[in-house]
Amino acid sequence: MKNNDIVQEWFGLYHQDILQYLVYCTGRLDVEDLVQETFIKALQHLSSFRHESEPKTWLFTIARRLAQDERRRGIWKALLPDFLLATMKSSDPAPHEKLMLNEEKTALYEAVNKLRPGYREIIILRGIMDLTSEEAADILGCSTAKVHLTYHRALQSLKKHMIAEKGGVVDEAANG
């Protein structure tokens, strides 16, 4: 199989995952250029791909580096635009329930955005993208033990942010 065919097959399999990951990481919807750059870099550096690794984690690693480069250029914006909240799967609750769910999702993603970068990355990879600890460790270049520990700490920090946000809303309502 030619290199082009391999990367083209990976594109078909992982394009959507890479796209979603880059949207979460950059806070932008216009990440198609970064997705394409991910697969171009994969093609250019296919000879360095360790075949005992999973292509998905290797592609996520490339995408992660590209997202970090974006942030270094100062393009970092809000983590999750409203468009993503609207496209998330739901079980079609009643309109008032939808409003409540959207408010909860918004609060959750605002809290994720307030986490320090290392925690935010782990929450995105493990909690949102639903990758395994091993896959996240490969992408981040660390041990699975570090992923477990950081994920645990990130969840604790996220809970604190959520509680603080709810407390602030309650305080405002009581004083308003």
- The CATH number of residue 103's host domain is 1.10.10.10
Boundary residue ending a domain (20, 43, 72):
72
Residue 58 in domain: yes
* pLDDT average, residue stretch 107-120: 83
Residue 104 in domain: yes
38 and 93 together in one domain? no
Beta strands in the chain (DSSP E): none
Query: Mean pLDDT, the chain, as a whole number?
Result: 78
124 and 158 together in one domain? yes
Residue 77 in domain: no
Q: How far is CA 125 from CA 41, 73, 158, in A?
A: 21, 22, 15
Nearest to 135 by CA among 62, 54, 64: 54
* pLDDT average, residue stretch 44-52: 83
pLDDT single digits (tens) 78-108: 434 444 445 444 455 555 555 555 677 777 7
Rounded Cα gap, residues 59 and 139, in angstroms: 8
Residue 133 in domain: yes
Residues 6 or more apart whose Cβ sits within 8 Å of residue 49: 42, 55, 58
Boundary residue ending a domain (72, 97, 128):
72
Residue 16 in domain: yes
96 and 51 together in one domain? no
8 and 40 together in one domain? yes
Q: Position of tokens 């959750």?
A: 108
Domain that holds residue 29: 3-72
pLDDT single digits (tens) 126-172: 888 888 899 999 999 999 999 999 999 998 998 888 777 766 543 44
Residue 23 in domain: yes
> What pTM value is reported for the model?
0.60
Residues 6 or more apart whose Cβ sits within 8 Å of residue 15: 35, 39
52 and 129 together in one domain? no
Total domain count, the chain: 2
102 and 51 together in one domain? no
Boundary residue ending a domain (23, 43, 72):
72
